[in-house]
Every structure is written in C-alpha cells, then in structure tokens.
Amino acid sequence: QVQLQESGPGLVKPSETLSLTCTVSGDSVSSNSFYWGWIRQTPGKGLEWIASMHYGGTTYYNPSLKSRVTVSVDTSKNQFSLKLSSVTAADTAVYYCARRRSLAGRPLWFDPWGQGTQVTVSS
Amino acid sequence: EIVLTQSPGTLSLSPGGRATLSCRASQSVSSNYLAWYQQKPGQAPRLLLYDASSRATGIPDRFSGSGSGTDFTLTISRLEPEDFAVYYCQQYDYSPYTFGQGTKLEIK
C-alpha cells in the first residue's frame, strides 16, 4: 500500500523559505509511471495545485507560483521536496503531497495523498 | 486557466437518497480528463473517479460519474452515512491543473 507523509516546519516567518519533504513508502519515486506533486488548501482559495515532478526531470509548475517554487526528488531517500521562497501570510495553508499517475509523460489524477501538514506564515 | 464551477455549494439529503453533483468547466476538457475527490473533515482528499467515469480502486459502485466537454456529474445513489463530506472535481487536461470550489453534502 502506497503511503505519503509530509514533514517540515509548521511555522515560517514572512519573507523566508518554506521547505517541506514528502517521504514515500510502498512505491519508488523513480517509477516511470508516476509524477509526484504538491497541492495546498486554504479556506479562501480552496485546493490549489503547486507543482508536479517526474524523477526524470520533467516538471510542471503553477504559473502563479512558479517564480517562487523549487521542487526536487531524492531517489536515495525515496523522497521529494518543495521549497517556496519569499512567503507571506497568503501562503498559510495545509500542504499536501500526492502521487500522480502518468500516461505518455502526461501527469493525470492525484492518488494517493499524504495526510497534509499545516504551515503558518507568521512572525 | 480552466475554471471549474461546482454546484450546488451545499446539498442537504437524507441517508438512502440520491445525490447529483455538478462540475462545469470554463472550456472543454478533452479526453474527459476530470477526476472527483471526497474529503472528510481533517482528512486529505481521496480519489473517487478518474477520466470522468472510472472508479478508483475500492470505491463502491454507488459512486458514478458522467459527462463530457464542459459538463460533468457525480452521482451517489443510496447515500450512506459515511458519504456526507465535501466533493471536489479536478481537471488534468491543461496546466495549471485546477480544482472546483467543492460541494458540501450534508445530512438533512
């Protein structure tokens, strides 16, 4: 059974960089069949896709966040990571990692999701 | 960006009833690249349907999906107590991959 678990600080100061890691068990981040993604959820904006990456290097970003987002995959630890720079209070959200089925190099639906981690941006 | 509009915002029904949830896209979603998710309080979303009508592993057959182009529907027949939750649609046809704002299914 595939499981994903987010980890990282729950509190980040404004203007700093939010860093989260997703640890995958029951599957390999090196699988050709999947992308690995990040999504966040806020009461105001709902669910917002952030980025999706394939271990081979293909990455898709939400244009609204692209200038601040860095994603990476660590195959040795079976993890993937998110960095979001220059955060503000608007980046306060529950952040989820998720696996995405891939077909012909195209990322598809999200399944499964990690349990989510609350990140608050505040001084 | 494809905007997904879900209706109604809240649906009040009784167990045993039938729920019909709508997801309308601002432009056509080709290949029916649309998924539905269920989210319960304090939990992550769970995949119910993909490709508009294919049930994910372990999803009961009382959940069904239909539609194409810009109009999609999630139907839950014979509502069980555990079905009362928030439901989201999501398109994966075009980046950025967007979600609807959700429909809350509550017990009447």
pLDDT digits (tens, 9 = 90+) for A8-57: 999 999 999 999 999 999 999 999 999 999 999 998 889 999 999 998 88
Q: Establish whether the linkage from the previous residue to A107 is cis, with ω within 30° of 0.
A: no
A109 interaction partners in chain B (CB closer than 8 Å): 35, 47, 50, 90, 92
A53 interaction partners in chain B (CB closer than 8 Å): none
Indicate whether B18 pLDDT > 90.
Answer: yes
Contact B98 A108 (CB under 8 A): no
Out of A52, A60, A109, whose CB is closest to B35?
A109
Cβ atoms of B66 and B20 within 8 Å: the answer is no
- The answer to whether residue B63 neighbours chain A at the CB level (below 8 Å) is no
B21 Cβ contact list (under 8 Å, min separation 6): B6, B7, B11, B73, B74, B75, B76, B87, B103, B105
Indicate whether B9 pLDDT > 90.
Answer: yes
- Which residues of A sit within 8 Å Cβ distance of B? 46-49, 52, 60, 62-64, 96, 101, 107-116
Q: Which amino acid is at B90?
A: Q
> Can you read off the two tokens belonging to residue B84?
């009362």
Indicate whether A105 pLDDT > 90.
Answer: no
The reported pLDDT for the residue numbered B38 is 98
- The answer to whether residue B14 neighbours chain A at the CB level (below 8 Å) is no
Is the sign of the CA dihedral A21, A26, A30, A31 positive or negative? negative
Cβ atoms of B52 and B63 within 8 Å: the answer is no
> Can you read off the two tokens belonging to residue B77?
């027949």
Is the sign of the CA dihedral A12, A98, B53, B14 positive or negative? negative
Indicate whether A104 pLDDT > 90.
Answer: no
Q: What is the pLDDT of residues B30-84, one digit of tens each?
A: 889 999 999 999 999 999 999 999 999 999 999 999 999 999 999 999 999 999 9
